[in-house]
Each structure stands twice: as C-alpha cells, then as structure tokens.
C-alpha cells in the first residue's frame, strides 16, 4: 500500500472514532474540554517543533499572518466546540451529516470566493445535497444547525488555511498559541468558581483530559503526511470514511434515531456526493489520454 494512503486512512479513522474519546468526558462541560484541547495541543505541538528544531518559520510571523491565523483559530475553535457539544448531547448522527456536507460546501465556497468554475454536474451535485438538508429540516421541524455549523466552520477554516503561509504543524502551533491565553483564563475562572473538572477530578479523568493533546495532534500529523504523498482526488474520496464511521457509531453504538425520513435526507446528500465524485472521475478518465 502507498504509505500516503495508510497515513490518510489513519487520520480519517481516528477522526471518525472521536466520539469514543469524548464520551469518556461526558461529565465535563464542553467548554472545559475545548479549553483543555487547546492547552494540551499547544504543549504537544511545541514539543514536536522542539524535537524537529523547526522554529525558522517564526521569522515570517508578522501582523498580517497573526490576523489571518486568528481568524482560522476562531473557526477551528467553533468547530471543535460544536463537535464536542454535539457528541456529548446525543447528536453524533447530525455531526456526521455536517462532515458529509463539508466537501461540497468547500466546492461552493471555492466558486463564490475564489472564482473557481463548476461544471453543470457539479452544480447539480450541490443542489441535490442541499435538497437533502432541506428535507431533513422540514422533517424535524428545525434547521440542522449542528451539521451546518460544523460544515460552515470547517469549510471556512479550510478556506483560511488554503492560502496560509505556514505549514500544517506550524499553523496549528500558531492557532493554539493564540487560543491558549483564552483557554487558560477560562480554566482559571472555573477554578475560582469551584467548577474546574480537572482540579476536582480523579487521576483517570485528568489523564483523559491531558490526552486531548495527542488525540488532536496525531490525526493532523497523519493527514499532513498523507496529503503530501497521494493525489488530492484520492484524499477527497477517503475523507468520507470519517462521517461514515460517525454515522455507524451514532446509530449502532449510541442508538440515536435514524428514521426513514432522515435516511431519505442522508440519501440525497449521498447522491450529491456520488454525482460530484462520478463527474470528477469521468473528467479525469477523459483527460488522461490527452
């Protein structure tokens, strides 16, 4: 197997298994889990950079770079916080919908903001997926805000990082460094009010919270290693492993409702994804001989 495929599969599998980790912290408020994720991720990333002696990038950090990464840090924090809350409040299935929608939303943002051109089949794919989201909104009587918040925040984050001047590891270091003071201040406030779960918890709970560092960083490193070794189109196909694992966990392990109407909505989203992938593969086959 191409090592890049193995790295990418590892990253997407770990992301798909995240609910197993966050469910261990169900007694901890989502905001505190988010704060620990920021704190311990920064610590681990700095250790990796120190081991690799990769600090030359700091010379390129100016006000414009900090402002750009402040925006990506806000979007990443919103995505992390929404995901943690969704998992620990019984919305794993809706979270999976967000990550099914995300790639198509990336395409739509690329068209609207980066002036990338879409073929008719790709527009049709986005329209079919949008119908699936609209159908589920009508069925449950509300907009699936968790799915849309996850898709919008991560699509915005991807867009912000697309033209960022720093690599994956260095960018994560700057993002978590920008989030670190807020996270630390929030945890200090929790301690002052006697609600800090880390301070009151047993050694097992504390170790699980500290594990937020490697849980966050390891999949990102695997993804970066995989992305450098395989084509973007293959990476795009493999990314659907994550929401599929989330859907399976939500329905089979956590017994979240998955009615026929919801299945129809998911089916429309899947049809949109299939249309987009099919059109991309067909265009590549046509272009290959040329």
The pLDDT of residue 20: 96
Distance CA 286, CA 223 (A): 29
CB 39 within 8 A of CB 184: yes
- Mean pLDDT value of segment 162-187: 88
Rounded CA-CA distance 126/268 in Å is: 10
Q: Is the pLDDT of residue 290 over 60?
A: no
Q: How far apart are CA 162 and CA 236, in angstroms?
A: 15
Residue range 8-15: mean pLDDT, rounded:
90
What is the rounded average pLDDT for all residues in the chain?
A: 86
Q: Which two tokens stand for residue 220?
A: 């990102």
Report pLDDT digits (tens) over 205-244. Answer: 999 999 999 999 898 888 877 877 776 656 767 788 888 8
Q: Which two tokens stand for residue 83?
A: 């995901």
Q: Where are the domains of the chain?
A: 3-287
Q: How many residues does the chain have?
A: 290
* Integer Cα distance of 155 and 167 in angstroms: 18
In the numeric block, the tokens 């610590």 are attached to 43
Q: What is the pLDDT of residue 289?
A: 64
- Mean per-residue pLDDT, 163-182: 87
Which pLDDT tens digit goes with each residue over 27-74? 999 999 999 999 999 999 999 999 989 888 898 889 999 998 999 999
288 confidence band (pLDDT: 50, 70, 90): low
Going by pLDDT thresholds of 50, 70 and 90, the confidence category of residue 116 is low
The token pair at 11 is: 């990253």
Q: Whose CA is closest to 243, among 80, 10, 15?
A: 15
Tokens standing for residue 117: 């051109």
Lowest mean pLDDT among 168-182, 195-209, 258-272: 258-272
Angle at 149 between CA 175 and CA 129, to 5 degrees: 125
pLDDT at 152 over 60: yes
What pLDDT does 212 receive? 93
Position 192 scores a pLDDT of 93
Compute the 3-state secondary structure of the chain and give helix, strand, coil in percent, each to the nearest 5. 80, 0, 20
Structure confidence at residue 236 (pLDDT): 67
pTM: 0.86
Share of residues in the chain with pLDDT > 70 (%) = 94
């Amino acid at each position: 197997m191409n090592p890049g495929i193995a790295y990418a599969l590892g990253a997407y599998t770990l992301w798909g298994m995240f609910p197993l980790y966050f469910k261990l912290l169900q007694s901890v408020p989502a905001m505190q889990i988010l704060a620990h994720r920021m704190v311990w991720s920064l610590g681990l990333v700095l250790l990796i950079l120190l081991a690799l002696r990769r600090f030359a990038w700091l010379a390129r950090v100016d006000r414009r770079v900090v402002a750009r990464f402040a925006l990506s840090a806000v979007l990443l924090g919103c995505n992390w916080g929404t995901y943690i809350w969704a998992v620990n409040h019984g919305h794993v299935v809706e979270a999976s919908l967000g990550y099914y929608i995300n790639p198509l939303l990336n395409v739509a943002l690329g068209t609207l903001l980066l002036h990338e051109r879409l073929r008719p089949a790709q527009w049709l794919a986005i329209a079919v997926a949008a119908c699936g989201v609209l159908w589920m909104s009508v069925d449950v009587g509300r907009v699936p805000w968790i799915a849309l918040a996850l898709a919008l925040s991560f699509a915005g984050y991807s867009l912000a990082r697309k033209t960022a001047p720093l690599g994956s590891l260095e960018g994560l270091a700057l993002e978590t460094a920008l989030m670190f003071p807020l996270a630390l201040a929030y945890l200090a406030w929790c301690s002052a009010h006697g609600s800090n779960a880390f301070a009151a918890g047993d050694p097992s709970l504390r170790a699980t919270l500290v594990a937020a560092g490697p849980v966050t960083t390891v999949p990102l490193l695997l993804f970066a290693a995989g992305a450098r070794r395989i084509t973007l189109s293959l990476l795009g196909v493999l990314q659907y492993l994550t929401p599929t694992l989330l859907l399976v966990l939500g329905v089979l392990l956590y017994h979240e409702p998955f009615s026929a109407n919801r299945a129809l909505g998911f089916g429309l989203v899947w049809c949109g994804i299939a249309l987009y992938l099919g059109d991309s593969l067909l265009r590549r086959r046509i272009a290959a001989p040329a």
